[in-house]
Amino acid sequence: MGSITYALISDIHGNLPALEAILRDAQYAGAKRFVFLGDYCLGLFEPNETMDMLRRLKNAVFVSGNEDSGLVTCPDEMQKGQYHARYWYRGHLSKENLAFLSELPNTTVLRESKAPPIFLFHKPETYFKSTMVSNINPHYYALGRDSNQFNKETFSVDFLKNDQKLSDTLSMLEDGVYAFGHTHIQWHEKIDGKLLVNAGSAGLPLDFDRKAAYTLLNFSGGEWSAEPRRVTYDVDLTLERFKQSICMQSVPVWCGIIYLELKTAREQATPFLHYTESFANQRNDNTRPFAEDTWNDSFNAWISGVKGDI
Protein backbone atom coordinates (compact mmCIF):
# COMPACT_ATOMS: atom_id res chain seq x y z
CA MET A 1 0.00 0.00 0.00
CA GLY A 2 1.39 3.41 -0.98
CA SER A 3 1.17 6.72 0.83
CA ILE A 4 -2.16 8.41 1.59
CA THR A 5 -2.82 12.03 2.52
CA TYR A 6 -6.07 13.26 4.05
CA ALA A 7 -6.93 16.84 4.99
CA LEU A 8 -8.58 17.10 8.42
CA ILE A 9 -10.68 20.29 8.55
CA SER A 10 -12.84 21.46 11.44
CA ASP A 11 -14.74 24.46 12.80
CA ILE A 12 -15.18 26.54 9.66
CA HIS A 13 -18.03 28.56 11.18
CA GLY A 14 -19.13 30.16 7.93
CA ASN A 15 -15.71 31.61 7.12
CA LEU A 16 -15.70 30.97 3.38
CA PRO A 17 -12.39 32.77 2.59
CA ALA A 18 -10.59 30.62 5.16
CA LEU A 19 -12.13 27.45 3.75
CA GLU A 20 -11.16 28.37 0.20
CA ALA A 21 -7.57 29.04 1.28
CA ILE A 22 -7.35 25.69 3.07
CA LEU A 23 -8.77 23.75 0.15
CA ARG A 24 -6.19 25.29 -2.19
CA ASP A 25 -3.37 24.50 0.22
CA ALA A 26 -4.57 20.94 0.82
CA GLN A 27 -4.85 20.22 -2.90
CA TYR A 28 -1.35 21.61 -3.44
CA ALA A 29 -0.10 19.38 -0.62
CA GLY A 30 -1.55 16.30 -2.32
CA ALA A 31 -4.60 15.57 -0.15
CA LYS A 32 -6.69 12.82 -1.71
CA ARG A 33 -9.67 13.13 0.61
CA PHE A 34 -11.20 15.95 2.65
CA VAL A 35 -12.33 15.00 6.14
CA PHE A 36 -14.62 17.51 7.87
CA LEU A 37 -15.08 17.40 11.62
CA GLY A 38 -18.08 19.65 12.31
CA ASP A 39 -19.28 23.20 13.03
CA TYR A 40 -19.60 24.32 9.44
CA CYS A 41 -21.70 27.43 9.09
CA LEU A 42 -22.85 29.12 12.31
CA GLY A 43 -20.58 32.05 13.07
CA LEU A 44 -19.59 34.31 10.20
CA PHE A 45 -21.53 35.85 7.35
CA GLU A 46 -21.58 33.24 4.56
CA PRO A 47 -23.34 30.16 5.96
CA ASN A 48 -25.05 29.12 2.72
CA GLU A 49 -22.06 29.83 0.52
CA THR A 50 -19.89 27.76 2.85
CA MET A 51 -22.33 24.86 2.86
CA ASP A 52 -22.77 25.04 -0.92
CA MET A 53 -19.02 24.71 -1.41
CA LEU A 54 -18.78 21.81 1.02
CA ARG A 55 -21.63 19.94 -0.62
CA ARG A 56 -20.00 20.28 -4.05
CA LEU A 57 -16.76 18.67 -2.93
CA LYS A 58 -15.94 15.23 -4.16
CA ASN A 59 -14.06 12.70 -2.07
CA ALA A 60 -15.21 14.29 1.19
CA VAL A 61 -16.56 12.82 4.41
CA PHE A 62 -18.41 14.72 7.16
CA VAL A 63 -19.45 14.36 10.78
CA SER A 64 -21.77 16.68 12.68
CA GLY A 65 -20.63 19.30 15.18
CA ASN A 66 -22.48 20.64 18.19
CA GLU A 67 -23.41 23.84 16.35
CA ASP A 68 -24.72 21.82 13.41
CA SER A 69 -26.98 19.68 15.56
CA GLY A 70 -28.05 22.80 17.45
CA LEU A 71 -29.16 24.39 14.19
CA VAL A 72 -31.15 21.34 13.17
CA THR A 73 -33.00 21.03 16.49
CA CYS A 74 -33.38 24.74 17.28
CA PRO A 75 -36.92 25.33 18.67
CA ASP A 76 -39.05 28.41 18.01
CA GLU A 77 -38.67 29.69 21.58
CA MET A 78 -35.04 30.51 20.77
CA GLN A 79 -36.07 33.38 18.52
CA LYS A 80 -34.70 35.92 21.01
CA GLY A 81 -32.07 36.14 23.71
CA GLN A 82 -29.00 33.97 24.24
CA TYR A 83 -29.71 31.45 21.46
CA HIS A 84 -31.11 33.88 18.92
CA ALA A 85 -28.14 33.21 16.63
CA ARG A 86 -29.08 29.56 16.16
CA TYR A 87 -32.61 30.50 15.20
CA TRP A 88 -31.43 33.23 12.81
CA TYR A 89 -28.87 31.04 11.02
CA ARG A 90 -31.34 28.19 10.76
CA GLY A 91 -33.82 30.52 9.12
CA HIS A 92 -31.24 31.71 6.61
CA LEU A 93 -29.97 28.31 5.53
CA SER A 94 -31.41 26.82 2.37
CA LYS A 95 -33.59 23.74 2.73
CA GLU A 96 -30.93 21.72 0.94
CA ASN A 97 -28.18 22.81 3.32
CA LEU A 98 -30.30 22.27 6.42
CA ALA A 99 -31.26 18.81 5.18
CA PHE A 100 -27.59 18.00 4.56
CA LEU A 101 -26.69 18.98 8.14
CA SER A 102 -29.61 16.99 9.56
CA GLU A 103 -28.33 13.78 7.94
CA LEU A 104 -24.76 13.94 9.20
CA PRO A 105 -23.57 11.25 11.62
CA ASN A 106 -22.02 12.19 14.95
CA THR A 107 -19.17 9.75 14.41
CA THR A 108 -17.78 7.64 11.61
CA VAL A 109 -14.75 5.46 10.93
CA LEU A 110 -12.52 5.41 7.85
CA ARG A 111 -10.76 2.15 7.12
CA GLU A 112 -8.08 1.72 4.48
CA SER A 113 -6.55 -1.60 3.57
CA LYS A 114 -3.50 -2.35 5.78
CA ALA A 115 -3.81 1.04 7.55
CA PRO A 116 -5.03 1.61 11.13
CA PRO A 117 -8.58 3.04 11.22
CA ILE A 118 -9.40 6.73 11.54
CA PHE A 119 -12.14 7.55 14.06
CA LEU A 120 -13.87 10.85 13.28
CA PHE A 121 -15.94 12.94 15.70
CA HIS A 122 -16.32 16.58 16.72
CA LYS A 123 -16.00 16.93 20.48
CA PRO A 124 -13.09 15.27 22.31
CA GLU A 125 -15.54 14.17 25.02
CA THR A 126 -17.01 11.65 22.58
CA TYR A 127 -14.13 9.29 23.32
CA PHE A 128 -12.13 11.05 26.04
CA LYS A 129 -14.66 12.28 28.58
CA SER A 130 -13.26 13.00 32.05
CA THR A 131 -9.68 12.99 30.77
CA MET A 132 -7.24 15.86 30.41
CA VAL A 133 -7.84 15.92 26.65
CA SER A 134 -10.96 17.98 27.32
CA ASN A 135 -8.91 20.49 29.33
CA ILE A 136 -6.98 21.62 26.25
CA ASN A 137 -9.46 24.36 25.45
CA PRO A 138 -9.27 28.07 24.54
CA HIS A 139 -9.54 29.17 28.16
CA TYR A 140 -6.61 26.94 29.16
CA TYR A 141 -4.59 28.19 26.22
CA ALA A 142 -5.27 31.87 26.94
CA LEU A 143 -4.34 31.49 30.60
CA GLY A 144 -1.12 29.74 29.63
CA ARG A 145 -0.15 32.45 27.19
CA ASP A 146 -1.10 35.27 29.56
CA SER A 147 0.96 33.78 32.39
CA ASN A 148 3.92 32.99 30.09
CA GLN A 149 3.68 29.27 30.84
CA PHE A 150 4.19 28.66 27.14
CA ASN A 151 4.21 30.41 23.79
CA LYS A 152 3.40 29.21 20.29
CA GLU A 153 6.72 27.39 19.96
CA THR A 154 6.78 25.80 23.43
CA PHE A 155 3.12 24.79 23.69
CA SER A 156 2.98 21.05 24.38
CA VAL A 157 0.48 18.39 25.42
CA ASP A 158 3.09 15.99 26.80
CA PHE A 159 1.24 16.02 30.13
CA LEU A 160 -1.40 13.79 28.55
CA LYS A 161 1.01 10.87 28.89
CA ASN A 162 0.71 11.18 32.68
CA ASP A 163 -3.10 11.12 32.72
CA GLN A 164 -4.07 7.73 34.18
CA LYS A 165 -7.73 8.18 33.24
CA LEU A 166 -6.71 8.78 29.63
CA SER A 167 -4.38 5.78 29.72
CA ASP A 168 -7.20 3.59 30.99
CA THR A 169 -9.52 4.91 28.28
CA LEU A 170 -6.98 4.38 25.51
CA SER A 171 -6.31 0.80 26.65
CA MET A 172 -9.90 -0.06 25.76
CA LEU A 173 -9.79 1.56 22.31
CA GLU A 174 -8.62 0.18 18.99
CA ASP A 175 -5.25 1.41 17.76
CA GLY A 176 -5.59 4.09 15.10
CA VAL A 177 -6.23 7.78 14.63
CA TYR A 178 -8.75 9.72 16.73
CA ALA A 179 -9.48 12.98 14.91
CA PHE A 180 -11.65 15.77 16.26
CA GLY A 181 -11.98 19.55 16.62
CA HIS A 182 -14.34 21.71 18.73
CA THR A 183 -11.79 23.49 20.95
CA HIS A 184 -10.19 25.58 18.17
CA ILE A 185 -6.74 24.67 19.53
CA GLN A 186 -4.54 22.69 17.12
CA TRP A 187 -2.41 19.84 18.50
CA HIS A 188 -1.62 16.16 18.14
CA GLU A 189 -0.02 13.47 20.27
CA LYS A 190 0.64 9.74 19.89
CA ILE A 191 0.01 7.70 23.02
CA ASP A 192 -0.10 3.92 23.39
CA GLY A 193 -0.65 3.24 19.69
CA LYS A 194 -3.31 5.91 19.28
CA LEU A 195 -2.70 9.14 17.37
CA LEU A 196 -4.90 11.89 18.83
CA VAL A 197 -5.36 14.82 16.44
CA ASN A 198 -7.16 18.08 17.05
CA ALA A 199 -7.27 19.56 13.55
CA GLY A 200 -7.61 23.13 14.87
CA SER A 201 -10.13 25.64 13.56
CA ALA A 202 -10.28 26.57 9.90
CA GLY A 203 -12.45 29.64 10.32
CA LEU A 204 -11.98 30.77 13.90
CA PRO A 205 -8.65 29.73 15.47
CA LEU A 206 -8.29 30.67 19.14
CA ASP A 207 -4.60 29.97 19.66
CA PHE A 208 -3.37 33.55 19.10
CA ASP A 209 -2.66 32.87 15.41
CA ARG A 210 -5.17 34.27 12.89
CA LYS A 211 -4.04 32.01 10.04
CA ALA A 212 -6.54 29.29 9.08
CA ALA A 213 -5.71 25.94 10.67
CA TYR A 214 -6.10 22.40 9.43
CA THR A 215 -4.07 19.20 9.66
CA LEU A 216 -2.75 16.81 7.03
CA LEU A 217 -2.92 13.16 7.96
CA ASN A 218 -0.29 11.12 6.14
CA PHE A 219 0.01 7.34 5.90
CA SER A 220 3.46 6.10 4.97
CA GLY A 221 5.75 3.34 6.15
CA GLY A 222 2.90 1.52 7.83
CA GLU A 223 1.75 4.31 10.14
CA TRP A 224 -0.19 7.57 10.26
CA SER A 225 1.43 10.90 11.07
CA ALA A 226 -0.04 14.38 11.57
CA GLU A 227 1.20 17.57 9.94
CA PRO A 228 -0.37 20.77 11.30
CA ARG A 229 -0.81 23.45 8.64
CA ARG A 230 -1.55 27.19 8.85
CA VAL A 231 -2.74 29.12 5.82
CA THR A 232 -2.69 32.86 5.24
CA TYR A 233 -5.76 34.63 3.86
CA ASP A 234 -7.04 38.21 4.07
CA VAL A 235 -8.41 38.30 7.62
CA ASP A 236 -8.79 42.08 7.67
CA LEU A 237 -10.93 42.08 4.54
CA THR A 238 -13.01 39.26 5.99
CA LEU A 239 -13.52 41.30 9.16
CA GLU A 240 -14.61 44.33 7.14
CA ARG A 241 -17.12 42.28 5.17
CA PHE A 242 -18.34 40.71 8.40
CA LYS A 243 -18.88 44.14 9.94
CA GLN A 244 -21.09 45.16 7.00
CA SER A 245 -23.03 41.90 6.80
CA ILE A 246 -26.72 41.34 7.43
CA CYS A 247 -25.97 38.80 10.15
CA MET A 248 -23.96 41.40 12.11
CA GLN A 249 -26.96 43.71 11.92
CA SER A 250 -29.45 40.97 12.78
CA VAL A 251 -27.49 39.06 15.46
CA PRO A 252 -25.20 41.75 16.89
CA VAL A 253 -24.26 40.06 20.16
CA TRP A 254 -23.21 36.67 18.81
CA CYS A 255 -21.61 38.15 15.70
CA GLY A 256 -19.87 40.77 17.81
CA ILE A 257 -18.26 38.05 19.92
CA ILE A 258 -17.25 36.06 16.84
CA TYR A 259 -15.88 39.22 15.22
CA LEU A 260 -13.60 39.85 18.20
CA GLU A 261 -12.49 36.21 18.25
CA LEU A 262 -11.59 36.35 14.57
CA LYS A 263 -9.78 39.65 15.08
CA THR A 264 -7.76 38.58 18.12
CA ALA A 265 -7.54 34.78 17.60
CA ARG A 266 -8.44 34.55 21.27
CA GLU A 267 -11.58 33.21 22.93
CA GLN A 268 -14.09 35.89 23.89
CA ALA A 269 -17.24 33.81 24.44
CA THR A 270 -16.37 32.41 27.88
CA PRO A 271 -15.32 35.79 29.36
CA PHE A 272 -18.51 37.33 27.99
CA LEU A 273 -20.71 34.57 29.43
CA HIS A 274 -19.09 34.98 32.84
CA TYR A 275 -19.63 38.72 32.61
CA THR A 276 -23.27 38.23 31.63
CA GLU A 277 -23.88 35.88 34.53
CA SER A 278 -22.71 38.57 36.95
CA PHE A 279 -24.62 41.22 35.02
CA ALA A 280 -27.85 39.23 35.25
CA ASN A 281 -27.39 38.53 38.94
CA GLN A 282 -26.88 42.22 39.65
CA ARG A 283 -30.26 43.01 38.11
CA ASN A 284 -31.87 39.98 39.83
CA ASP A 285 -32.60 38.30 36.52
CA ASN A 286 -32.71 34.53 37.05
CA THR A 287 -33.87 33.68 33.53
CA ARG A 288 -31.63 31.08 31.86
CA PRO A 289 -30.88 30.99 28.98
CA PHE A 290 -30.40 34.74 29.24
CA ALA A 291 -33.36 36.89 28.25
CA GLU A 292 -33.15 39.33 25.36
CA ASP A 293 -32.79 42.55 27.37
CA THR A 294 -30.14 41.13 29.69
CA TRP A 295 -28.25 39.54 26.80
CA ASN A 296 -28.16 42.76 24.77
CA ASP A 297 -27.53 45.13 27.67
CA SER A 298 -24.75 42.96 29.02
CA PHE A 299 -23.03 42.90 25.64
CA ASN A 300 -23.20 46.68 25.28
CA ALA A 301 -21.65 47.09 28.73
CA TRP A 302 -19.03 44.39 28.16
CA ILE A 303 -17.90 45.55 24.75
CA SER A 304 -17.16 49.04 26.05
CA GLY A 305 -14.58 47.54 28.38
CA VAL A 306 -12.73 45.21 26.01
CA LYS A 307 -9.95 46.13 23.67
CA GLY A 308 -10.97 45.97 20.05
CA ASP A 309 -13.56 48.00 18.19
CA ILE A 310 -16.42 46.45 16.23
d(CA 263, CA 157): 26
Which residue segments constitute the domains of the chain, with CATH numbers given? 4-231 (3.60.21.10), 250-303 (no CATH)
A 10 A CB-CB count for 74 gives 20
d(CA 256, CA 15): 15
d(CA 294, CA 283): 9
Own/partner long-range contacts of 156-162 (Cβ < 8 Å, ≥24 apart)? 157/187, 157/189, 158/189, 159/132, 160/131, 160/132, 160/133, 160/189, 160/191, 160/196, 161/189, 161/191
Q: Give the sheet arrangement for strand 176-180, strand by strand.
A: 107-110, 118-121, 176-180, 194-198, 187-191
Determine the residue type at 167. S
Per-residue pLDDT of the chain (310 residues; tens, 9 = 90+): 568 899 999 999 999 999 999 999 999 999 999 999 999 999 999 999 999 999 999 999 999 999 999 898 877 666 688 988 999 999 999 999 999 999 999 999 999 888 999 999 999 999 999 999 999 999 999 999 999 999 999 999 999 999 999 999 999 999 999 999 999 999 999 999 999 999 999 999 999 999 999 999 999 999 999 999 999 999 999 999 999 999 999 999 999 999 999 999 999 999 999 999 999 999 999 999 998 999 999 999 999 887 556 7
Query: What is the chain's length?
Result: 310
Alpha-helical runs (H) found in the chain: 16-28, 47-56, 66-73, 84-92, 95-102, 125-128, 138-146, 164-171, 235-243, 246-250, 252-264, 269-282, 292-303
